[in-house]
Amino acid sequence: MRIRIRWNTESVEGELDDSSTASKIADTLPHTATVNTWGDEIYFSVPVESELNENPQTVVDPGAICFWVQGSSIAIPFGPTPISEGAECRLVTAVNVMGQLDGDPRVLASISDGDTLRIEMAD
C-alpha cells in the first residue's frame, strides 16, 4: 500500500506492508493530524488501536513507518532521538514497524512541532 504524507509545500511517499496494523491505518485515510517532534522523529495520532506484533522493535532504520501502540500514533524517526546511542533511531518504546519511506527521510526535518500534516493513499 502506497501512502503520501503532505505538509506545508512538501511531501514524501512510502510503502506500508500488509500487516493488520497497516490495514487499519489505511482504512482511516485520508487523515489530518498535528505533528509532535522528539529529536529527529515525528509522530502524530491516528484513530487506530492495535497490539504489538510478534516482532516489535525499539531501534529502527531511518524512515521506518512505525505504529506506537501506547500512543495510538504513527512515529517516523529520521535520525537520533533523545535516548539514541550514537546515530541510531531509538524510539521511546517498542513499536510495530509497518513500512518505509522512499528516498531520504531527512526531508522530515522541515516539519516543526505543531505543524499540520495530511496522510493519504498515494495514486
pLDDT of residue 23: 96
1-32 pLDDT tens trace: 999 999 999 999 999 999 999 999 999 999 99
For position 100, what pLDDT does the model report?
Answer: 98
Q: Domain residues of the chain, as ranges?
A: 2-121
User: What does the block give as the cell for 87?
Assistant: 546515530
d(CA 41, CA 109): 8
36-50 confidence digits (pLDDT tens): 999 999 999 999 999
- Structure confidence by residue, pLDDT tens digits, 51-74: 999 999 999 999 999 999 999 999
Which residues, in sequence order, are CB contacts of 37 under 8 Å at separation 6+? 43, 111, 112, 113
- Predicted pLDDT of residue 109: 97
CA distance 90 to 65: 13
pLDDT of amino acid 123: 76
CATH code for the part of the protein at 2-121 = 2.40.100.20
Task: Provide CB contacts within 8 A for 29, sequence distance 6+.
Answer: 3, 119, 120, 121
Distance CA 64, CA 100 (A): 5
pLDDT at res. 68: 97
What does the alpha-carbon distance between residue 95 and residue 29 come to, in Å, rounded to a whole number?
20
* Contact yes or no for 13/3 (Cβ under 8 A): yes
pLDDT value of residue 48: 95
C-alpha cell at 15: 510503502
